[in-house]
Each structure stands twice: as structure tokens, then as C-alpha cells.
């Protein structure tokens, strides 16, 4: 995003990103003006162009950075997980929920402002989303192959799981009666009960 080198330029670019997240989350991309953004950062509107090319590029950069972080951190979490598909699914669920709760503004913008991207930017982000969905599908496919999971359509199952897990962001409140860990455990049990092949014994 930044076009000015040096510590000051990097600090200003980071401040623009934080302000952009806050204003888009609060007012929506269409309602946020570059003048509002500059005022939030404490610089002249004309100075924004030293750091961003257009308002559209700012939105794209925000969503792209979110997706890059999500993909990279998911890869790291799965790489450290045990080999069984069940354990990898547990890991995916925990990472997805915790990441999304900690990045609530990023997630909201990535989901609800995707429609505001122009066609080339939209295509790039959709491809990244498909790559993320593919990671969960691969876990489910592996579980079906080993007999751990009884799933008739892993693609639709993956979409359903992701919708449920991401939906936590819309209602979870830190001051609520359930902790993050309890939310993770609750959703893990729901997903696993829907995926694991029936055995003589219940889930551990």
C-alpha cells in the first residue's frame, strides 16, 4: 500500500490502513470518503495519494492482506496438527473461530464489501477464498478416504461449516457468558457429530 519509504512513511501507511478499516466497518465503503479518511489519520487529503492510489485500491489491499494472513496462518496451524483428519478438522475449526473473532473488522469488510471491488480485484479475492475453502475440503476428503468421516458431499459440507463458524462473528461478545474456548468447543462438537462416521462409541 505504501509508496513512501522510511519509518515515517510506513507509520502513515499503517495509520491509513487502521483508519480505513474502522471507517469502512462503521460506515460502509460507499459512504467513506477520502476526505474522511485523511481527517481520521490527521493528514491532508492530497497526502493520501503518497500512500494509496485510489479508494478502490485501499479496499482491495485491506481484503487481500486479510486473506493472505488467513491462508498463511491456516497453513501453519494445519502443518502443526496431528495427522488424523479428525484432529486436523479440530485444528481448522479452532483456528478459524479464534482468527475471525480477533479480526472482526477485517472479516466483516472481506465478507460484506466484496461486492464493492471492481472485476479484476473481485476475481483475485474470490480465488483466494476458493483456496481457503479448498483447505477445509481437503481435510474432509482425507477423512472420507480414511473412513473417519461419513460425508456425502464434502464441498457443500465445507460451505456449511464455514458459514456456521464465520457466523460467530455476528453475535459473539467478549463480555458474554461463553468464553472463546467454550465457543470453540461447542462448535467443534457440532461439526464433528455431523462429520464423523458412526461408531459404537460416542465422540471422545
Residues of the chain with CATH 1.10.357.10: 54-195
Residue from 121, 104, 114, 123 nearest 167 by CA: 104
How far apart are alpha carbons 109 and 21 in whole angstroms?
Answer: 8
pLDDT digits (tens, 9 = 90+) for 114-141: 999 999 999 999 999 999 999 999 999 9
Residues 54-195: name the CATH superfamily: Tetracycline Repressor, domain 2 (1.10.357.10)
Average pLDDT over the chain reads: 90
How large is the average pLDDT for residues 143-162? 95
Nearest-angstrom CA–CA distance, 99 and 22: 18
CATH 1.10.10.60 boundaries in the chain = 1-53
Regarding pTM above 0.95, the answer is no
The length of the chain is: 204
Distance, CA of 99 to CA of 69 (rounded, Å): 10
CATH class of 1-53: mainly alpha
Closest CA to 186 of 122, 97, 124: 97
**What is the C-alpha separation between 135 and 138, in angstroms, rounded?**
5
Amino acid at each position: 500500500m505504501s509508496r513512501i519509504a522510511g519509518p515515517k512513511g510506513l507509520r502513515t501507511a499503517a495509520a491509513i490502513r487502521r483508519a480505513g478499516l474502522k471507517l469502512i466497518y462503521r460506515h460502509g465503503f460507499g459512504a467513506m470518503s477520502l476526505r474522511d479518511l485523511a481527517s481520521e489519520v490527521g493528514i491532508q487529503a492530497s497526502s493520501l495519494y503518497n500512500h494509496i492510489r485510489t479508494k478502490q485500491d485501499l479496499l482491495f489491499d485491506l481484503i487481500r492482506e486479510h486473506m493472505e494472513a488467513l491462508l498463511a496462518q491456516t497453513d501453519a496451524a494445519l502443518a502443526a496438527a496431528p495427522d488424523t483428519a479428525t484432529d486436523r478438522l479440530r485444528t481448522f475449526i479452532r483456528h478459524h473461530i479464534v482468527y475471525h473473532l480477533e479480526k472482526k473488522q477485517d472479516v466483516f469488510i472481506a465478507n460484506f464489501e466484496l461486492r464493492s471491488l471492481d472485476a479484476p480485484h473481485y476475481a483475485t479475492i474470490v480465488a483466494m477464498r476458493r483456496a481457503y475453502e479448498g483447505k477445509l475440503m481437503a481435510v474432509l476428503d482425507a477423512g472420507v478416504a480414511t473412513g473417519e468421516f461419513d460425508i456425502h458431499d464434502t464441498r457443500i459440507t465445507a460451505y456449511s461449516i464455514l458459514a456456521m463458524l464465520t457466523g460467530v462473528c455476528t453475535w459473539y461478545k467478549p463480555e458474554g457468558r461463553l468464553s472463546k474456548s467454550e465457543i470453540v468447543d461447542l462448535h467443534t462438537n457440532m461439526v464433528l457429530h455431523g462429520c464423523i462416521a458412526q461408531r459404537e462409541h460416542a465422540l471422545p
